A and B are shown apart, each in its own frame.
Chain A
């Protein structure tokens, strides 16, 4: 892109700090840009402003006590993290939750994934200067929050899964509400497409911008929708199905080029696939217990370690737990997807314009507190 513009006669480089606390950096991220006029010659993402020490906290509380922390690591998809942590501990301790619990968890997790993607959709477009879609998304997202609020009692930090089940059972109202929501979301797609996907300004701002191709993605460990936009159909739900994901029929949407427009398309399509999963899960929802009773408060898993990877809204997330046989984990480590996704920025931002930085950063969908966990 740089050759389209006349090169300056005399190179005058200067540095610009984008963030921390810039509304479009979605948290406390600072990107140190070295600029030549409007071009970026070098971009260094600098993180660590919001370090909260969740992994260290895991070492001095029991497995159950760490549960609320897990949904605070990523505040947009708290339930998915919660779910993943539960599965990791269950794998470590050899607990098998009842069928109904598995289905409830999958439904709630997918609802949470949609809500996370909807929030991304809104904020991404707001970064690009469109305010209306943001309000529409929040209207839709509100429905999901209401549904999850009804079952889990909280709107953001769900802390809903428990070892061997979930905290509360779902009822008919939940099922009706969820079905109604899916119907409503489907009726909104034409609006979104007319408003955004076909919008000429939007297309011109995101097409061929910020290309993350397969090679780059592999080098930086990019996962999730960003990787799938590059054309790699890699999704933990398909490659290593956990819970009951192998019983559902859904597709992995992929892009071709890996530019911001592809990432946008992949996420929209993914919401639709999540809707399909929820529908099938609701149809198959078995009766019975929603929680295994015999799980002790102070769970003592046998000695050993476990690495459990799952698909959060932003990509492959994993918990690595080491147990020494006591009620407290010896080590807790979390692999967060945003870290890899963010760090390819150094490559992607080279020779682009400052305005594109915002578009690229928004399309990557990072949550900085998740990196600074």
Chain B
């Protein structure tokens, strides 16, 4: 008795399962055909860091204070700046970040006193060597403007 009951109940449970699978056939697909279709990126997406360009000055506001360099847990930021003349503040001339070792924690962006850092929403990054991940943000910004 138990044997036949098992077979009938077991068979029924399989049919129930097949029903669930069958229904999925008529549902819209959830995957996105990536290169042709794209999803909207989240506004908070943490890509590599980038300089924000302030419209008032037309340039970044980095004063080469080094806060981001000190707070970075992965030690991937190197920033250098010069003083235009003796009494003025510094302006960054080089801002090198090794993105390949960045842990995308967001501490640099949060700690920047002039709020000049932001995350880019770029996600399709590829390179031939690990040096492709090392970018100079100042250079990059100037190139993008010219």
**Are A and B subunits of one complex?**
yes
- Enumerate chain A interface residues (CB-CB to B < 8 A): 61, 64-69, 72, 132, 136, 139, 142, 146, 149-154, 157, 159, 162, 167-168, 191, 194-196, 198-201, 297
With contacts A149-B45, A195-B21, A198-B13 known, is A68 near B71, CB below 8 A? no
**B142 at interface (Cβ–Cβ under 8 A)?**
no
B13 near A64: Cβ-Cβ < 8 Å: no
Q: How large is the interface on B (under 10, 10 to 19, 20 to 34, 35 or more residues)?
A: 20 to 34
B19 near A150: Cβ-Cβ < 8 Å: no
With contacts A142-B30, A153-B119, A168-B44 known, is A64 near B107, CB below 8 A? yes
Q: How far is the CA of A168 from the CA of B21 in the complex (A)?
A: 39
- Nearest B residue to A69 by beta-carbon distance? B73
Contact of B106 among A159, A195, A196 (CB under 8 A): A159
Q: Per-residue CB proximity of B116-146 to A under 8 Å, as 1/0?
A: 0001000000000000000000000000000
With contacts A150-B42, A150-B44, A153-B44 known, is A199 near B13, CB below 8 A? yes
List, in ascending order, chain B residues with CB within 8 A of A194's CB: 16-17, 19-20
Minimum CB–CB distance from B45 to chain A (whole Å) comes to 5
List, in ascending order, chain B residues with CB within 8 A of A66's CB: 73
A297 near B111: Cβ-Cβ < 8 Å: yes
Minimum CB–CB distance from A146 to chain B (whole Å) comes to 8
With contacts A67-B105, A149-B44, A297-B71 known, is A198 near B16, CB below 8 A? yes
**B9 at interface (Cβ–Cβ under 8 A)?**
yes
> Interface SS of chain A: helix, strand, loop or mixed?
helix
Q: How far is the CA of A194 from the CA of B104 in the complex (A)?
A: 41
List, in ascending order, chain B residues with CB within 8 A of A150's CB: 42-44
B20 near A200: Cβ-Cβ < 8 Å: no
B42 near A200: Cβ-Cβ < 8 Å: no
List, in ascending order, chain B residues with CB within 8 A of A142's CB: 30
List, in ascending order, chain B residues with CB within 8 A of A146's CB: 42
**B89 at interface (Cβ–Cβ under 8 A)?**
no
List, in ascending order, chain A residues with CB within 8 A of B30's CB: 139, 142
Minimum CB–CB distance from A185 to chain B (whole Å) comes to 15
- Nearest A residue to B43 by beta-carbon distance? A150
Candidate in A168, A200, A201 with the most chain B CB atoms within 10 angstroms: A200
13 contacts between A and B (CB under 8 A): A65-B72, A146-B42, A149-B42, A149-B45, A153-B44, A153-B46, A167-B110, A194-B16, A194-B17, A195-B20, A195-B21, A198-B13, A200-B13
Minimum CB–CB distance from B50 to chain A (whole Å) comes to 14
**B114 at interface (Cβ–Cβ under 8 A)?**
no
